[in-house]
């Protein structure tokens, strides 16, 4: 069994590894996990001793197969609980993350599989992120950053790079939801803002917002 702290480190490292393709170093982890570099050093040593990751200084960490397996288990739990909170307890997608951060650490050999079955094996969480199955297999959808879409192209909103509640609330306000169809109408060269159109309305989004929207291209 692993402590909550250990699980959080593994999960964070996995996510960093898959989101950014850069080197995952001490400071980056410290930043994401909201702690200090010295604390990360300590934990890296511990996880390395347990062979959950390898570490070369200045070259960053790399999860071992075992480390990745554990990370995926925690992510699976997190996302299934988020799904539960939204679908069964009527939370909205911007309210569930902090509760799932706690629920993901509940220890039981059977709980999460029973929950999954109760939820009828959902494949994605409320933020469009894929839910790893029992064996850690994960569906990868081919998506493109909205920043890289040309004028006239169409797609559907598949998932988000940033799932912070601030961003989610922004999307609520702008009436943008997962699976909405989005068409790029115009790109403003001055500030890279993007004029888009959904099935119901049009709006202009900033470069920063566009960068956080992953689009599945329709052809």
Q: Which residues bind its own copies (CB under 8 A)?
A: 85, 88-91, 98-99, 102-103, 106-108, 111, 114-115, 118
CA 28 to chain centre: 17
- Minimum Å gap between C-beta 178 and Mn ion is 11
From CA 139, how far away is CA 53, in angstroms rounded? Answer: 24
- Sort strands 181-187 and 154-160 into parallel, antiparallel or unpaired: antiparallel
In the block, residue with structure tokens 């071992």: 64
Which residue lies nearer to Mn ion by CB, 15 or 41? 15
Partner from DNA, Mn ion, its own copies, none binding residue 119, C-beta < 5-8 Å depending on class? none
Q: Distance between CA 186 and CA 54 in Å, rounded? A: 46
- Binding region for DNA (CB under 7 A) out of 53-61, 113-121, 156-164, 185-193: 53-61
Whole-number Å distance between alpha carbons of 178 and 170 = 13
Three-state DSSP class for 136? coil
The count of chain residues that interact with DNA, using the rule CB under 7 A, is 22
Position of tokens 């925690």? 74
Instruction: Annotate each residue in 5-34 with x if it binds DNA (CB under 7 A) or - if it does not, as one string.
Output: xx------------------xxx------x
127 lies in the site for Mn ion, by CB under 5 A: yes
* 205 within 8 A of 174, measured Cβ to Cβ: yes
Specify the residue, 26 or 159, whose C-beta has the smaller distance to DNA.
26
- For the bound state, the minimum distance from the C-beta of residue 58 to DNA, rounded and expressed in Å, comes to 4
Contacting residues toward DNA, per CB under 7 A: 3-6, 25-27, 34-39, 41-44, 46, 55, 57-58, 60
């Amino acid at each position: 069994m692993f402590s909550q702290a250990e699980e959080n480190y593994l999960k964070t490292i996995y996510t960093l590894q898959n989101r950014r393709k850069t080197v995952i170093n001490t400071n980056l982890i410290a930043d994401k996990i909201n702690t200090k570099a010295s604390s990360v050093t300590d934990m890296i040593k511990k996880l390395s001793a347990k062979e959950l990751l390898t570490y070369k200084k200045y070259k960053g960490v790399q999860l071992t197969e075992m480390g990745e397996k554990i990370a995926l288990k925690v992510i699976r739990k997190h996302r299934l609980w988020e799904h539960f909170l939204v679908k069964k307890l009527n939370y909205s997608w911007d309210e569930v993350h902090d509760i799932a951060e706690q629920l993901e650490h509940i220890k039981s050999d059977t709980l999460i599989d029973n929950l999954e079955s109760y939820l009828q094996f959902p494949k994605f969480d409320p933020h469009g992120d894929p839910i790893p199955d029992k064996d850690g297999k994960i569906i990868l959808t081919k998506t493109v950053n909205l920043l890289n879409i040309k004028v006239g192209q169409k797609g559907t909103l598949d998932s988000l790079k940033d799932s912070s509640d601030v961003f989610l609330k922004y999307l609520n306000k702008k009436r943008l939801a997962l699976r909405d169809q989005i068409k790029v109408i115009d790109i403003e060269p001055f500030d890279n803002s993007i004029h888009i159109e959904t099935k119901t309305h049009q709006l202009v989004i900033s470069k920063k917002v566009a960068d956080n929207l992953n689009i599945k291209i329709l052809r």
